[in-house]
Copies of this chain bind each other. A is one copy, B any other.
Amino acid sequence: METVPLFVQRGKRVVDLSADFRFKDPAVYEKWYQKHSCPELLKESVYGLPELHREKIRKARIVGNPGCYPTGALIGLIPLVTKGMISYETVVVDSKSGVSGAGRDVALGSLFCEVNEGVKAYNIYKHRHLPEIEGELSQLAKKKIAVSFVPHLIPMDRGILTTLYVNFNQKVKEEDVVNVFEEHYRKEPFIRLHPRGKVPNTKDVRGSNYCDIGIVVDELGGRGVIVTAIDNLVKGASGEAVQNMNIMLGYPETMGLDVVPLWP
């Protein structure tokens, strides 16, 4: 937030990878992060999830590129919230991230022998990506949504798998839910819906800008599980930033991003 205004004043447009321009409300930012040095710019900055705000991104001067967890969580919930199909009281967001999500800081908790051959939850109810998820969902629902969000650290380099648990507020068939997603994301270049009954593996998207989605509905129970997989360093970070840049500059949206996932 120190440098972005300098660019903007000179007529440049910015995609910011930090959290500084992800929130409309400076109070939320300041509660979870720190004092904001240019809150007036938040009015015009756009949350950079193309699947949600493509048209605003196109004209934005400042795009706040989403966090990695919010990218995976929001993409799995947006169609359901748009349709108002789910209860907003009981959404669970259980995320599993590779270690690169922690950045390259030299910290004890990121040492190989601390992380390898183990899995743990962390920052329960306290992760900074929580207000980002809740904020965007609430705006979309025009109603306050609180989710139960627990991130986990997994012994792998890259990837976030997000398992979303929802309760439908109406009787639905799996087919209906799948159709809602298909309809919603039909034109999205980086969203891939798995065939019915299949759910994605983070390995399927590694190195790519794809977000893969799988849907399983318990029709009798009125419940559903949505699973999304992204590469946190691409769709969850720099790849999404390039996608935003392409949108802002009128380039083909997939330019520089048509990379085949590296498997295995």
Q: Interface on A for B, CB 8 Å cutoff?
A: 90, 92, 94, 96, 98-100, 104, 106-108, 110-122, 124-125, 146, 148, 150, 152, 154-159, 161, 163, 165, 167, 199-204, 206-207, 214, 216, 218, 221, 223, 225, 227, 262, 264
**Complex Cα–Cα for A12 and B214 (A):** 43
| Extra inter-chain contacts (20) besides given A117-B157, A148-B225, CB under 8 Å | A92-B92, A96-B119, A99-B112, A111-B111, A113-B264, A117-B203, A118-B201, A119-B161, A120-B199, A120-B202, A121-B214, A125-B221, A148-B223, A150-B163, A150-B165, A152-B161, A155-B155, A157-B264, A206-B262, A207-B207
**Complex Cα–Cα for A159 and B116 (A):** 12
Q: Is the CB of A161 within 8 A of B207?
A: no
Q: 10 A-B residue contacts at CB 8 Å?
A: A94-B163, A99-B111, A99-B112, A104-B113, A112-B114, A112-B115, A117-B159, A124-B199, A165-B165, A262-B262
**Complex Cα–Cα for A118 and B158 (A):** 8
Q: Is the CB of A111 within 8 A of B120?
A: no
Q: Is the CB of A118 within 8 A of B159?
A: yes
Q: Is the CB of A216 within 8 A of B157?
A: no
Copies in the complex: 4
Q: Is the CB of B221 within 8 A of A264?
A: no
Q: Is the CB of A116 within 8 A of B264?
A: yes
**Complex Cα–Cα for A203 and B113 (A):** 10
